[in-house]
Amino acid sequence: MVFKLLRKHMKTILVTGGSGFIGSHTCLCLLKNKYKIIVVDSNVNSSKLSLKMIKKIFDQNKEVMEEIIFHQGDIRDEKFLKKVFLKSLNNGYQIDGVIHFAGLKSVEESIKYPLMYWDNNVSGTLTLIKVMELFNCETIVFSSSATVYGSSEISPLKESFEIKPLNPYGQTKATIEYILDGIFRSSKSNLKVANLRYFNPIGAHCSGLMGEEPLNKPNNLFPYICLVAAGKYKKLNIYGNDWPTFDGTGVRDYIHVMDLAEAHFSTLKFLLSNKAQLINLNIGTGIGTSVLDLINKFSVVNDIIIPFEIVDRRPGDVASLVANNQKAISILDWKPQRDLNNMCADGWNWQKRNPNGY
């Protein structure tokens, strides 16, 4: 009864790419905070089962299950997107805001197939913004990336630093930021925009029911470590130990995926209760961890040895990417709560319980 009363005041959020790794954890967080959510995903890089797991985590609570609606489809399909907005309106729920995760995310793939990345990421976003405008939806939280900074010599990185992406993936993210900025600056706009520049999300929900499921051989370090731990690969290749870092291996700012999910909730809350504006926020912990650090931490926390070999540097890699997260901490009612121990334990728990993914 109380829940029904609350529902009347709940905001409705469209989550594009909500079946994916970060999207599914964010959906969980939004539901916990009593938002109604509509997920749109083509499942080009995810399983529909991730959303089923959310329902399991909420113990099949019927009222919560009513608050999550899934539409399978591609955001480049304008007709489909219009239908999603219209259906929600006809059901009495105007979409108040969008969290836009849908996109392709492999740097390597983007170098091989740049057109596919421009089309999916940029055309998809343009279609989404057009439909949002048609339905007077003026709030968007966009999944940007630390890759937009390229290879900065200075760490930690501030939001005001130059945007200079080094690969097509990063260029699509920077272009979307640029487009949003242009629309925001137009005189007619009441747009509320947050470009969240994520650093390196790893780990999984502590239940072990949800996590990252790379459909192909993973490119990223953490899922690869998990697969070596699981015995699927014999060893990890470390891409260079001659980087200008404290131990010669690449340094990154790893953030627990649930901390990242919570940052989205806080960002939405902030945008929805403030005037039209555009903000760029780094979402990281501000702590730099090297490849060797991460391997050691994973081994100690989970009591598993990770065999590795030093190989050549990976093309397109940079030495160090660490966030200055002070702006996000001061603006949002948010700060990272989980440390590297939690990231390693939760990530391995998910891998161990789900050796074949969802």
Q: Which residues bind ligand NAD (CB under 6 A)?
A: 17, 19-23, 41-46, 74-76, 101-105, 120, 124, 143, 145, 198, 200-201
Give yes or no for a contact between 344 and 298, defined as CB atoms under 8 angstroms apart: yes
Question: Of the listed 35, 169, 198, 224, which one is catalytic?
Answer: 169
Burial class (CB in 10 A: 0-12, 13-18, 19+), 212: buried
Query: Which two three-digit tokens encode residue 230?
Result: 């699981």
Contact residues for ligand UDP, defined by CB under 6 A:
200, 219-221, 224, 236-239, 250, 252, 291, 314, 317, 321
252 makes contact, choosing from ligand NAD, ligand UDP, none, with CB < 5 to 8 Å by partner type, with ligand UDP
Q: Which residue is nearest to ligand UDP (CB)?
A: 250
314 makes contact, choosing from ligand NAD, ligand UDP, none, with CB < 5 to 8 Å by partner type, with ligand UDP
Active-site annotation holds for 149: no
Which residues lie below 8 Å from residue 225, measured CB to CB, with a gap of 6+? 236, 294, 295, 298, 306
Give yes or no for a contact between 243 and 319, defined as CB atoms under 8 angstroms apart: yes
Which of 12/106 has CB closer to ligand NAD? 106
Q: Name the residue with tokens 């969240």.
A: 196
Closest CA to 257 of 70, 27, 11: 27
320 makes contact, choosing from ligand UDP, ligand NAD, none, with CB < 5 to 8 Å by partner type, with none
Which of 47/219 has CB closer to ligand UDP? 219
Which of 45/280 has CB closer to ligand NAD? 45
102 makes contact, choosing from ligand NAD, ligand UDP, none, with CB < 5 to 8 Å by partner type, with ligand NAD
Q: Identify residue 355 by its one-letter amino acid code.
A: P
Q: Where are the alpha helices (DSSP H) in 78-167?
A: 78-90, 107-112, 114-117, 124-134
Which of 125/147 has CB closer to ligand UDP? 147
221 makes contact, choosing from ligand NAD, ligand UDP, none, with CB < 5 to 8 Å by partner type, with ligand UDP
Q: Which residue is nearest to ligand NAD (CB)?
A: 20
Q: How far is the CB of 106 from ligand NAD (least distance, A)?
A: 9
What are the start-end ranges of the E strands in 112-206?
139-145, 192-198, 200-202
Which of 97/211 has CB closer to ligand UDP? 211
Cis geometry, peptide bond prior to residue 156 (ω within 30 degrees of 0)? yes
Q: How far is the CB of 2 from ligand NAD (least distance, A)?
A: 33
Give yes or no for a contact between 213 and 24, defined as CB atoms under 8 angstroms apart: no
Cα separation of 198 and 238, whole Å? 23
Q: How far is the CB of 154 from ligand UDP (least distance, A)?
A: 17
Which of 150/201 has CB closer to ligand NAD? 201
Backbone angles phi, psi at 38, to 5 degrees: -120, 120
Q: How far is the CB of 312 from ligand UDP (least distance, A)?
A: 10
286 makes contact, choosing from ligand NAD, ligand UDP, none, with CB < 5 to 8 Å by partner type, with none
Element (H, E) at 300: helix 291-302
Measured from the Cβ of residue 210, the count of other Cβ atoms closer than 10 Å reads 28
Q: What is the dihedral of CA 17, 127, 265, 201, to 10 degrees?
A: 50
Active site residues: 169
